[in-house]
């Protein structure tokens, strides 16, 4: 009987299997390297519940740009875009992802941050820096900002700031300060109403402080985070000669108690 020729074995060590593995690995690497910026845009929108949108995203996940839009969330028709385009660079590293974000309208220098995974959460650390943003963008977040229609400049500065979410608990280290200057609202004929400072201090129990720098609308309050919830108590009032001009605004931002408006969060 003639002997049958045996078919070459297609085992793990054969050249064909190595070639197939190389093709699969190459495809995976190419997918990661050239992943479109839309993937990141969809992730950001999902994680923020639709409040932050990267519209018209271009480039890749690692080097891209988009129109930054603040929105009221799912089902809301309120949205406001930042002037110009926002650009970013992402660089994976050992146990962290480094990011560099730049908005020509608002950042004097690129905002640099690091995202590090944690068991049951993540940590976000920002490099010290300053930036300025239009207060009008807040209207894109929906109520009550779309009613207040704030105008003015928001100046943000950070110092050794890091924010950590672990198993639903919020941890903050360092400091962030937000100054709202020349603030006005469509609910008042008084322009501007004043300038204000909000300070976030990290620690075992992160705290928040609101104070008035100058102006006819007086704002003051303090708060702290318990777990992941902010508990804040504040008071808004008007200079005696400006009560009529600020009455509508005081009715919106809190619960009226005589000439004052009581602000409560959490």
Dump pLDDT digits (tens) for 109-146: 999 999 998 887 888 999 999 999 999 888 877 777 88
Name which of 81, 168, 95 is nearest 125 in CA terms: 95
pLDDT of residue 119: 83
Summarised one tens digit per residue, pLDDT across range 91-101 is 988 888 999 99
CA distances from 85 to 44, 99, 126 (A): 16, 16, 21
Strand pairing category for 229-238 and 260-265: antiparallel
Task: Specify the range with the lowest mean pLDDT, choosing from 11-15, 38-42, 53-57, 149-153.
Answer: 11-15
Neighbours of 254 (CB within 10 A): 20
Q: What is the DSSP string of 24-81?
A: HHHHHHHHHHT-BHHHHHHHHHHHTTTSEEEEEEEEBSSEEEEEEEEE--TT---EEE
Summarised one tens digit per residue, pLDDT across range 62-78 is 999 999 998 876 666 67
Distance between start and end Cα atoms, the chain: 90
Name which of 5, 90, 1, 108 is nearest 44 in CA terms: 90
Q: Is the pLDDT of residue 27 over 50?
A: no
**What is the mean pLDDT of the segment spanning 243-248?**
92
Question: What gap in Å lies between CA 227 and CA 208, rounded to an integer?
Answer: 14
């Amino acid at each position: 009987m003639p002997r049958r020729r045996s078919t070459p074995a297609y085992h793990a060590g054969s050249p064909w299997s190595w070639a197939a593995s190389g093709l699969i690995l190459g495809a995976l690497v190419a997918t990661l390297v050239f992943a479109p910026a839309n993937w990141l845009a969809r992730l950001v929108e999902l994680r923020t519940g639709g409040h932050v949108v990267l519209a018209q995203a271009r480039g890749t996940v690692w080097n891209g740009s988009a129109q930054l839009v603040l929105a009221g969330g799912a089902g809301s028709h309120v949205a406001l875009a930042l002037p110009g385009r926002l650009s970013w660079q992402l660089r994976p590293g050992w146990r962290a992802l480094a990011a560099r974000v730049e908005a020509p309208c608002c950042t004097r220098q690129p905002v640099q941050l690091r995202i590090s995974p944690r068991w049951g959460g993540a940590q976000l650390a920002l490099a010290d820096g300053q930036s300025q943003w239009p207060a009008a963008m807040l209207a894109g977040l929906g109520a009550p900002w779309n009613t207040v229609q704030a105008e003015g400049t928001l100046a943000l500065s950070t110092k050794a700031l890091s924010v950590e979410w672990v198993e639903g608990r919020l941890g903050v280290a360092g400091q962030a300060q937000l100054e709202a200057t020349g603030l006005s609202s469509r609910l008042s004929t008084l322009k501007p109403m004043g300038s204000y400072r909000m300070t976030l201090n990290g620690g075992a129990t992160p705290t928040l402080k609101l104070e008035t720098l100058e102006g006819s609308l007086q704002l003051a309050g303090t708060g702290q985070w318990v777990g992941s919830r902010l508990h804040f108590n504040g008071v808004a009032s008007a200079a005696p000669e400006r009560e009529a001009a600020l009455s509508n605004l005081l009715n919106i931002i809190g619960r009226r108690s005589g000439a004052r408006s009581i602000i409560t969060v959490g």
